[in-house]
Amino acid sequence: MKATERTSSALLTTEKTDLINHPKHYNMQSTEAIDIISASLTTEGFNEYLRGNIFKYLMRYKHKGKPREDLKKAKWYLNRLIDEVE
């Protein structure tokens, strides 16, 4: 999949802030940071970025006080990586 074809995917659709799929602090004028990162890297580089985030959230889920949230974030990045390699 080309960088220009990548879009962020939502797993949850709710009115309240979605800290897993669409955190407000990663959204700049209707463009999410993940889409900017995707467009700025090669496909391989972006896949490695996703892999690094999977590891990050798996390693810290027991230590930050919000294990369920960190595991959901790891799952989000894993699902995104799966989408990228299909």
- Count the domains in the chain: 1
Domain-embedded: residue 58? yes
| Confidence (pTM) | 0.69
Query: For position 11, what pLDDT does the model report?
Result: 42
Do residues 6 and 84 lie in contact, with contact meaning Cβ atoms separated by under 8 Å? yes
User: Which ranges of the chain have pLDDT less than 50?
Assistant: 1-15
Query: For position 57, what pLDDT does the model report?
Result: 97
Query: For position 28, what pLDDT does the model report?
Result: 60
Domain holding 56, by residue range, is 42-86
Query: For position 86, what pLDDT does the model report?
Result: 94
Domain-embedded: residue 33? no
Query: For position 54, what pLDDT does the model report?
Result: 98
For residue 78 the two structure tokens come to 């894993």
Query: For position 10, what pLDDT does the model report?
Result: 41
DSSP run (H or E) holding 60: helix 43-60
Query: For position 31, what pLDDT does the model report?
Result: 83
Domain-embedded: residue 14? no
Do residues 81 and 46 lie in contact, with contact meaning Cβ atoms separated by under 8 Å? no
Domain-embedded: residue 50? yes
